[in-house]
Structure 1
Amino acid sequence: MANGLYAARAKGRRMRTIGVVVNPIAGMGGRVGLKGTDERVAEARDRGAEARAPERATAALRALADVTNAAGVADATNAADGADITLLTYGGEMGESEAREAGFTPTVVGHPEDAETTAADTRDAVRGFVERGVDLVLFVGGDGTATDVATTLDEAGVDEAGSNTPMLGVPAGVKVYSSVFARTPRDAGRIAATFERTERREVNDIDEDAYREGEVRAALKAVATVPVAEALQSGKQRTTGSVETLAAGFAADAEAGVTYLFGPGGTVGAIERELGIAGSPLGVDVWRDGDLLVRDGSEAELLDALGERNIVVVSPIGGQGFVLGRGNQQLSPAVVRQCDLSVVASPAKLAATGVLHVDTGDTELDADLRGWIGVRTGRHTSQLVRIE
């Protein structure tokens, strides 16, 4: 039986057509320390990178199926065939394979020309969706994919109400700074099935080569129409406030024999400077007993450097609240499971951030990490904050 919300809607339930496009190489560079995958696919594979986006796409589509089932649909295949959701995809790993794995029978609007997919394939998929009048483009990737989708929708023009076709991102890239993404793949699936209103949000991307050198050069790429939902992430924001006392306190309390894994960001960087570490501003460094064991390490290098007791030190992305899963995928589930988690942030940053979030790609680990955590805010102070 449908729950109360969907039972109330059942009589007037309308059809919803969703176009799904997956960038199958998105996020491959994260765990191997490349800070991104643009034009670095071969290098990522040489370092042992594995595809991350397809499994996240499948998770989102399974959540989409779960919601349609709750609405009284007999099964996910029926949802795809038209009981509630008509699903359009691009061929192969660009959406079709993941949709079928999630139980859907999608309509395929085209196929990539080569085995190695490109941004041109993403744009072709979006144009195919628009031509068929989709209600939403659900894409899987990072900020680069978001830019490709948004600019293609801009080129397609607006409807009679003056809006572009809505888009929604499933976070799968290394860089996920734009505010057009759901917090998690499952959130994306639920939002895609249930949203009622849209709003305009920013799409941002950064220069990956500059990012690898420790410099963030962000640029506004587009303004997109996006579903209104609480489970959307905010855009990355800069926050103000001194972290010197926090860094000094943390450095004074550093324990002998403990292996520290310092994540990216300015707050953690201040701690490293206090300890005399010439760390990587945007990578993950490993330090123990005064020695920098690994600078800007990959997942494999971090695992090799772990000791008997290990502590991951991270700070939330301002405005978003993510402490794991955004820009630090080298801190993989395999790494995090062998470490304690230490979150640091100035009071001003916490006030601007609110609750914290994790998105490691391992749903069991994410569930284990959720709950209250003491965030260090100063030399001797901390604040309880909830990870949701």
Structure 2
Amino acid sequence: MRTVGVVVNPVAGMGGRVGLKGTDGKVDEARKRGAEPRAPDRARQALEAMAATGEPLRVLAYAGVMGAEAAREAGLDPVVVGEPEAGADATVGETTATDTHDAVRQFVEEGVDIILFVGGDGTAADVAETLAGMDDETPIFGVPAGVKVYSSVFGVSPEAAGRVAATFDETERAEVNDIDEDDYRAGEVRTELRAVARVPVAEERQASKQLSGGSVEGLAAGFVEDMDPGVTYVLGPGGTLGEVKERLGIDGTALGVDVYRDGEVLARDAAESDILAALGEDNVVVVSPVGGQGFVLGRGNQQLSPAVLRRSELSVVASRAKLAEVGVLRVDTGDPDLDEELRGWRRVRVGRFETRLVEVV
């Protein structure tokens, strides 16, 4: 029987849809902007998938929103091994990184076979650094719930993370990277290696995010030439879309989402609510895959929510080099039904005139 320790960072990812590009130190601001907790629901999805494997499992969890609630909602009967400092009834926003550290130490003492954590890169670092401080190599695996998710210790989706935690046979070492969110909000990305952790060997584990490089001038020029009047374009983050914004002559944000129509920027560095307010009758969401991972939705662009996507067409642009690197495209919108609708073969613009069919898996 496999013993799985489950710990949830309940505030992870709250800043994504409201345009904060992260939640570190921004929980109150995220709430003011109307953010809703994201991590507990993704924890439930992962644990449901874990239970559905049929593998014999023993689940240990921290109390309440830090894991036990999600486990029970998934139909599991967790053994509660501790609770946050604020108590078993702590709400979202009342738990701390110290609680995560304590949960990891308790899991190690209980001899778990794997620690399944729910959060982003900061949570991954908290878990991995705690293990390193104990000189322990218990494998870890992440349910992606943060905004950025740069590290290679996460499943490609909550469901994938749950399946892998229940069924993996081998482990290997992988990097835990994080970035300074204040620099990220200012348009600069500086990755920092925080730890090296042992993780399951699995095809459904995402690769470490790499910054894209190479010229995309022709691609951007062709896209701009083909833009239609009267259409609202929701331009996602990243270097490729940055080149598109430069071609348009607009002062866009490199790591945020900008909304453009007929020569006018309708919203700059927009949150989900800003995008929804700016949409017109005909809308196109334009994205480029994350280098090294292949995600076009759900990594660093949660502002492009299911509500936005259901009112828009989806356009993907990418250099040939980036497509060769990622192989396939991935989506993780937080809405499993929408993810399923988006899967299949999609035409991607790769040059001024050229397109290529790429599978969304």
**Cα deviation, residue 104, structure 1:** 1.0
1:153 is aligned to 131
Task: Give the SS at the match of 1:214.
Answer: coil
1:241 offset after TM fit, Å?
2.1
Q: Please point out which of 189, 193, 200 is paired with 1:220.
A: 193
Distance in 1, matches of 2:108 and 2:348, equals 45
Q: Deviation of residue 238 (structure 1)?
A: 2.9
Equivalent residue for 1:67? Answer: 53
Question: What are the within-5 Å matches in structure 2 for residues 28-177 of structure 1?
Answer: 28-68=14-54, 71=55, 84-114=56-86, 115=90, 116-158=94-136, 164-177=137-150
Which amino acid letter does the alignment assign opposite residue 181 of structure 1? F
Residue 177 of structure 1 deviates from its aligned partner by: 0.6
State whether residues 212 and 239 of structure 2, in contact with CA within 8 Å, keep that contact through their aligned partners in structure 1: no
Does the CA contact (< 8 Å) of 1:267 and 1:345 recur in 2?
yes
Partner in structure 1 of residue 208 of structure 2: 235
CA distance in 1: counterparts of 2:77 and 2:167, whole angstroms? 20
Contact 1:262 1:313 (C-alpha < 8 Å) held by counterparts: yes
Query: Can you give the 5+ residue segments of structure 1 that lack an aligned partner in the other structure?
Result: 1-14, 72-83, 159-163
Aligned to 1:3: none
CA distance in 2, matches of 1:249, 1:239: 19
Question: For the residues of structure 1 that align with 2:121 and 2:153, how far apart are their CA atoms?
Answer: 9
For residues 151 and 297 of structure 1, the distance between their equivalents in structure 2, rounded to whole angstroms, comes to 34
| 1:200 aligned partner | 173
Work out which of the residue numbers 8, 11, 17 in structure 1 matches 2:3: 17
Deviation at 1:221, TM superposition (A): 0.4
Aligned with 1:120: secondary structure? Answer: helix
Q: Name the CA distance, whole Å, in 2 between partners of 1:210 and 1:64.
A: 36
Are the equivalent residues in 1 in contact too, given 2:63–2:80 (CA < 8 A)?
yes
State the distance in 2 between where 1:219 and 1:240 align.
19
How does 1:174-323 map onto structure 2 within 5 Å? Answer: 174-323=147-296
Instruction: Pick one of 340, 343, 347 that aligns with 1:370.
Output: 343
TM superposition shift of 1:350: 0.7
SS at match of 1:109: strand
**Cα distance in 1 for residues equivalent to 2:195 and 2:38:** 25
| 1:239 positional shift | 3.5
CA distance in 1, matches of 2:195, 2:138: 14
1:359 aligns with 2:325: no
Question: Separation in 2 of the partners of 1:230 and 1:247?
Answer: 32
Partner letter of residue 87 of structure 1? Answer: V
The answer (yes or no) to whether the contact 1:264–1:282 under 8 Å persists in 2 is yes
Aligned with 1:222: secondary structure? strand
Aligned residue-pair number: 355
Which amino acid in structure 2 is aligned with residue 42 of structure 1? Answer: D
C-alpha offsets along residues 312-367 of structure 1, whole Å, 9 cap, x if unaligned?
01000011000000000000000001110000011111111110000000000000
Alignment RMSD (CA, Å): 0.7
Task: Note the alpha carbon deviations across 1:236-282, whole angstroms, 9 max, x for none.
Answer: 11343210000111111111000000000000110010011110111
- 3-state SS of the aligned residue for 1:153? helix
Q: For 1:383 and 1:156, how far apart are their aligned partners in 2?
A: 49
**2:117 partner letter:** F
Q: In the TM superposition, what is the alpha-carbon distance from 1:293 to its structure 2 partner?
A: 0.4
Aligned residues with identical type, % of pairs: 66
Aligned-residue offset at 1:156 = 1.6
Q: Secondary structure of 1:323's match?
A: strand
Larger Cα-atom Rg: 1
